[in-house]
Amino acid sequence: MNKLAILLFLIPLLASAQISDHKRIFSDSLEYKNFNQGFLDSQEYFIGTGDFFIGVTGWYAYGVPNAVCYIVEPKDRRFMNPINPNVGYLYSDINYYNGYKYGATKKKRKRIMQGSLTPIGLLVGVLGTLILLDN
């Protein structure tokens, strides 16, 4: 009887569960085609190498540059990459621009976090190696 009561309680909760995507819809519909294309292009053509190096060198100033760069969105001048075949849509289609900006922001933050965590990973690796070699 208890199992039946629990099952009857959980079915309505599980049946109406939805995933919130914070107004960012990635679907194959034509309505979001340009947003999705902008997001995909930003993941391929947005250059985040400088953000990685900011993350690595930001530790010397107690992580303040990392925090500031993580919060600030990338500037529009960084979006222009001549290798991108859809660069013409960047300022002519607002949905493509929003998708590109959203993806570039995510990529920038990812590169800053990778750069910030690299020195910690190297330190743990070196200390682990020294501890293993000492025994």
More confident residue, 37 or 23: 37
pLDDT digits (tens, 9 = 90+) for 70-114: 999 999 999 999 899 998 889 999 999 999 999 999 999 999 999
CA 28 vs CA 25, 36, 41, 82, 107: distances in Å: 9, 8, 16, 27, 22
The domain spans of the chain are 29-126
Q: What pLDDT was estimated at residue 105?
A: 96
pLDDT, greater one: 80 or 32? 80
Which long-range contacts does 43-47 make (Cβ < 8 Å, 24+ apart)?
43/103, 43/107, 44/84, 45/81, 45/83, 45/84, 46/74, 46/78, 46/79, 46/81, 46/100, 46/103, 46/104, 46/107, 46/108, 47/78, 47/81
Measured between alpha carbons, how far is 95 from 81 in angstroms, rounded to an integer?
A: 18
- The predicted structure's pLDDT at residue 15: 53
Task: Give the pLDDT confidence score for residue 31 in this predicted structure.
Answer: 66
Considering the entire predicted model, what is its pTM? 0.72
Distance CA 109, CA 41 (A): 17
